[in-house]
Amino acid sequence: MENFWTTLLYAFISMFIIFNYGMVLGGVVYKIIARVHGRFGPPVWQPYINLVKVMGVRTAISHGIMFWLGPVFRFTGGIGLFLFMPVLFGVPWMQNFSFSGDLLLVIYFIFFGQLGMALGAAESGHPYSPMGIMRGLSQVTASEVPFALAVIALAAQHGTLSITEIVAAQQGGIANWNIVTNPVATLAGMMAFLGMMMHAPFNLHIAPQEIPIGPPTEYQSNFLSYMQANRAFFASAKLILFMNLFFGGATNIPVLVGKTFSLYMITVFIGVVNPRFTLENSIRWFIRIPTVTGIIAVLIYTF
């Protein structure tokens, strides 16, 4: 029992660190995007200012219990994803509860947050909510297909679904990373990663400048603070997941920051130079190139 409370305390500490890392990372990326567009951009600490502004705001508008629970479900998905995977390999206080979960549980938590937001949006009663739900769930489902195939290929390669054991198998140098030993699965996973991070051209679930509504509008006041905090936390958790699966994990914080920042910049760069896909083009792209790549990866390691 004492070990449980110690692990829980360490988990809270690691969540605090990763949350702040995600907030700072978001501010840095906003500044980079602004400079690419020829603007000065907001300060790096702007995400903290936005979060503090909306945390104290209250609203009298109510659409029902599920509308309230939508952001909570979304935040729970990010926390669950983070808690059941190691942050730093070989560092006891940054292992979280990775010994109790595996890749199947992680995949569930990724979809759990999206489903919660869909249920919350559905209860809002807004006439455009079905459009946002259809776009969001369709793209998430399409991107999950190549990711699931990449996970199957990794499980067949390493003989396990444990994230910790997959990271352990990649220790010893770059030559042992899955990007080298299993490049086809890595390619399929990274193409799915573009959709899961929801930057352009795969940001059609909110569609900035196209639909003047959506969660950032309907979920105002302190509800919006949950969404802004989750945006930082969920993004960091996904970056750590893909670093663990394909890029050897991390054994110290500088390596963690270097790898996850590089991964994030891939999505930012692609988003800056590409326009948004339509829903049909997005799903068609995921079903064709990434899914076929994932199938090839599975065939390589199962036959």
Residue 210 has pLDDT above 60, yes or no: no
Instruction: List the domain boundaries for the chain.
Output: 2-302
Q: Which residue has the tokens 């455009």?
A: 128
- pTM greater than 0.85: yes
Question: What's the pLDDT score for residue 146?
Answer: 93
% pLDDT > 90, the chain: 26
139 vs 203: CA distance, rounded Å = 9
Q: Which residue has the tokens 């792209």?
A: 285
Give the pLDDT confidence of 155-173 residue by residue, as tens digits. 999 999 999 999 999 998 8
Residues 6+ apart with CB under 8 A from 292: none
Number of Cα atoms under 13 Å in the Cβ half of residue 52: 5
Give the pLDDT confidence of 224-280 residue by residue, as tens digits. 777 778 888 888 899 999 999 999 999 999 999 999 999 998 888 887 777 778 878
Question: What's the pLDDT score for residue 147?
Answer: 93
Mean predicted confidence (pLDDT) in 11-16:
89
**Mean pLDDT, rounded, of the chain:** 83
161 vs 143: CA distance, rounded Å = 20
DSSP collapsed to 3 states, 203-252: CCCCCCCCCCCCHHHHCCHHHHHHHHHHHHHHHHHHHHHHHHHHCCCCCC
Residue 189 has pLDDT above 90, yes or no: yes
The region that residue 276 occupies, defined by phi over 0 for left and psi between -120 and 50 for alpha, beta otherwise, is beta
Q: How far is CA 37 from the centre of its chain?
A: 25
| Helices 253-273 and 2-36, axial angle in degrees (round to 10) | 40
